[in-house]
């Protein structure tokens, strides 16, 4: 049995097949990547919102505990000046 000199290349892919495959992968990824990024951004916002909520909850609890009160109104958080004092006391303020 005599082998032709091109018989060793029969198991490979042609350049056209590779380019078509890469083109399909490119189109599919171009359609899915924006959705993935949007979902990631949404989850990031939710995590940040939970962190802010937890920080304020902990600060309010400390405020009530420090004043031996059952709620924020009883603790004295009733107007804008007391809210300003609360924020300055229980949070790190970078710029006022």
Q: Please say if the pLDDT value at position 4 is more than 90.
A: no
Cβ–Cβ < 8 Å for 64, 75 = yes
Instruction: Tell me the pTM.
Output: 0.64
Nearest Cα neighbor of 90 from 63, 68, 54 is 63
Structure tokens belonging to residue 86: 């609360």
Is residue 76 within 8 Å of 67, Cβ to Cβ?
yes
Widest pairwise Cα distance in the chain: 99
Q: Extract the tokens encoding 7.
A: 């018989």
Q: What is the DSSP letter of 92?
A: -
pLDDT confidence bin for 2, thresholds 50/70/90:
low
CB 90 within 8 A of CB 59: yes
84, two tokens: 């300003």
User: What's the pLDDT score for residue 9?
Assistant: 58
């Amino acid at each position: 049995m005599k082998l032709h000199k091109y018989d060793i290349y029969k198991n490979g892919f042609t350049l056209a097949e590779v380019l078509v495959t890469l083109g399909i992968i490119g189109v599919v990824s171009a359609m899915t990547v924006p959705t993935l990024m949007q979902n990631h951004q949404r989850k990031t916002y939710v995590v940040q919102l939970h962190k802010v909520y937890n920080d304020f909850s902990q600060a309010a609890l400390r405020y009530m505990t420090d004043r031996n009160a059952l709620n924020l109104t009883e603790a004295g958080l009733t107007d804008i000046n007391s809210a300003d004092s609360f924020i300055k006391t229980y949070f790190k303020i970078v710029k006022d």
